[in-house]
Structure 1
């Protein structure tokens, strides 16, 4: 989907009242019970930011406005576990993100246990955030060889567990590493590897054995945690490799599952069912979150927005947040043999508090995914944790609520490809993309301006009208598959060089619409993607693209070749989900032929996305 089209859709939705029906923070939510949800189901929350937020003056209020300890608020609403991350030495890293060291984790564990809450400890084995994009070895260990690093992981892990035990607050569960699909403790423990993943397996085994040695009675459950909860192929590759290398002594597979990044609920269910049986492990969704608004409450751009709302399938409302959480818990309850044992919400407390940023000197990109409003007042969506276990409650079937209006852009005298589906929202604020029956699916307009189109969508057996507007302009975009949304592939593009690094990604933040061209490799690479045109009218042309990524390329250019000449301009990326436009204007085409494209020369680990390519004749 073109960025300008998405903007038009949002404006049209606002005009139609699509976003105006958001419940307030005080509104009650409707949550159906989950009949097969176990009584001991883990209803958890990662609250690692809490000590830093409290230090900076954050206050928390229950839904009735009563100020109290956030842990007490959560317990009041049915939370029975918390999760806490540990960084080795936050002072050695960039800082921020809660500065979550062992001392803070011990103090928080004591507070949780005093309230009867259980605790999961999350070892990052880093001085800062560890996730699929970065697994940096702590500064104190960065000069270790493999044997030394394995020993450090073992000794450090065992000592931390003993410190908790000596403080009288042994945790009930520990995870070794955080979202480790690409390994941990880079470069020694990086995946994929040339040694059959043996070094990584040794590091994992060292951490797991250290806990078992400190806890011979096995009262502490052990977890291994990956992201991308809807990607079954990833989980099979990873755990088959661990098993092959003899690492099997753990109890739980943890998954991160954010529906706007990690696939559909059906894909999550299939993965949960498969891995629990295949590896004989319990499964827990150890990270998830849903937006309650698309508003931003500080100067830091949020990582969740209107586009991700569309991808995720739940409206950015308090009701939508509650419905999304219930949906994840229901999938876990449906895992055969009771192996879906719990869910943790990631940082529900992280509302925008000055100074409590993801990095020192920066802001909060999570505030619209919190379960507290901008003033620290609990949202009614907290009720989901109790309501799903209320066996006396009567289930209410969701009913049709509204259908989005459609707004697209088209070229004068050229067929306009209208969207095949439209978002339909139901009374519980979940949404579905349903097929549209247009009166004319590819209309042609002979005058500029806004033109109306009509269609219908079938909901619960009834035809519901769909209204659409086509903004007709003189410009005709010549690029085939420039936004990758309909194809979900690289159709129309010629990729040369290290072709394996280039593919299509369909995750919010990595794409502006449904999909985008994407690149990444663990090795240095060179790759070019091009599209050629013939039969062009003489005149001046413009080529454009939007990009986002980590930067660091040796060379990265948008180019156009015509009339035997090549014009190119450098592409500059500034971060994930920070989309930057690059364009070349006033290119004279005289022989009817042109080739547009992008060329990359990049070191190992470079990543990024390209979306919304355009090539058109200037009028």
Structure 2
């Protein structure tokens, strides 16, 4: 839809004229609302999900022409080798959800599990796409991409990220196969060599056997943390669901929740003191299933602390740390991606050693079992 629909009537015109497109969408939506399926959610879908500039231009122009356009969901296509970075996708999803107060959904995505060619006719994903996409073209790399995508969607504020669709999971190479049936190709007066250029981005191997990565389609593992956005208790120095530690020299309110300028909801957790301080907020588990976990949290900070980091320890391996870097204007997400628990025990948290007036804000924490 990025150039409109049903050209020429619904084509976006010169000087960014969205009037034709807006009129067609208004009519189509009115038809749905007048039908027996009037409660059906209506989605508007664009490609290039990691490129916010396209979405601000497109929906800015469309909704200027039709401010009350009655739709429910923003749909985005996202392929990391073509459509921008994962960080760009997260930003765009968050922007759409918070700016327009609507749900968002990644309605088309995939990644390669190999660079081999199942039918010998070429593929759209080739070896150089691994570097751009950011993941190896292996079954494990495909699984890792989908897990990261799932986390991005779950991190959209106010639970407005509703899911994703994998395209096209079962399009394995078969004799004579192409993008359409022979009748469809003939109808378009097209001439194509029967081929499947998508056969290395399926969730099945070339023989039709399910890959291990297909387990990513199981129901997402729940967030094991509670009070994840520090919304409970109002303003407090003892947020429910968390343990707080401060050094003897710190004031009792060095760690506290504050109202306003939050990433998710109304409250955030703040580290601050007018003198040097050390503190942490953490959670300990003593009977969790062994497996691989991911811990993430959103943060803003002046970045001048001696130490400011996420950590994971007591899980059966060496302590893992991720530094929270300077982010004093926008919220950014920081994570520890592969915490392999082998003893049913885990402590995760955020630790700071800071000077006077150094500050950090935290919000929307997540701990999920990913494998």
- Please confirm whether the aligned pair reaches a TM-score higher than 0.5, indicating the same fold: yes
1:218-256 CA distance string (max 9 Å, x none): 1x1110000010111111111112211225201100000
Alignment correspondent of 1:396 = 292
Contact 2:113–2:139 (Cα < 8 Å) also in 1: yes
How far does residue 273 in structure 1 lie from its aligned partner after superposition? 0.5
Work out the CA distance in 2 between the residues paired with 1:337 and 1:205. 28
Mapping for residues 234-273 of structure 1, pairs under 5 Å = 234-246=54-66, 248-273=69-94
1:316 maps to which residue?
137
Using the alignment, how far apart are the partners of 2:11 and 2:23 within structure 1?
A: 12
The Cα of 1:356 is off from its aligned counterpart by 2.3
Number of residue-to-residue matches in the alignment: 219
Question: How many angstroms apart in 2 are the aligned matches of 1:295 and 1:224?
Answer: 35
Candidates 117, 125, 137, aligned match of 1:296:
117
**Does the aligned pair in 1 maintain the 2:32–2:38 contact within 8 Å?**
no
Decide which of 211, 236, 240 is 1:379's aligned counterpart.
211
Q: Using a 3 Å threshold, how does the CA distance of structure 1 residues 217 and 204 change in structure 2: closer, same or farther?
A: closer
Match of 1:190 in 2: 11
Matched, 1:354 2:186: no
**Structure 1 residue 320: Cα displacement:** 0.8
- Residue in structure 2 matching 1:210, options 31, 38, 49: 31
Would the aligned equivalents of 2:12 and 2:20 in 1 still touch at CA under 8 Å? Answer: no
Change (3 A) 1:369 1:192: farther
Give, in whole Å, the separation in 2 of the partners of 1:259 and 1:285: 12
Which stretches in structure 2 are left out of the alignment for 5+ residues? 186-191, 225-287, 295-335, 337-371
Shift of 1:195: 7.0
For residues 264 and 394 of structure 1, do their structure 2 counterparts lie closer, same or farther at Cα, with a shift above 3 Å needed?
A: farther
Q: Which has the higher contact order (CA 8 A, sep 6+)?
A: 1
Taking a change above 3 Å as real, the CA distance of residues 368 and 194 of structure 1, as seen in their structure-2 partners, is same
CA distance in 2, matches of 1:260, 1:300: 20
Aligned alpha-carbon RMSD (Å): 2.1
Structure 2 counterparts to residues 399-478 of structure 1, below 5 A: none
1:276 Cα offset (Å): 0.7
Structure of larger gyration radius: 1
SS in structure 1 opposite 2:165?
strand
CA shift digits 1:136-177 (9 cap, x unpaired): xxxxxxxxxxxxxxxxxxxxxxxxxxxxxxxxxxxxxxxxxx
2:171 is the alignment partner of 1:339 = no
* Structure 2: distance between partners of 1:260 and 1:377: 25
2:46: which partner in 1?
226
Spell out, residue by residue over 1:154-203, the C-alpha distance to the aligned partner (whole angstroms, 9 max, x if none).
Answer: xxxxxxxxxxxxxxxxxxxxxxxxxx111111222222435721011111
The separation in 1 between residues aligned to 2:6 and 2:175, in whole angstroms, is 31
Counterpart Cα distance in 2 of 1:337 and 1:394: 30
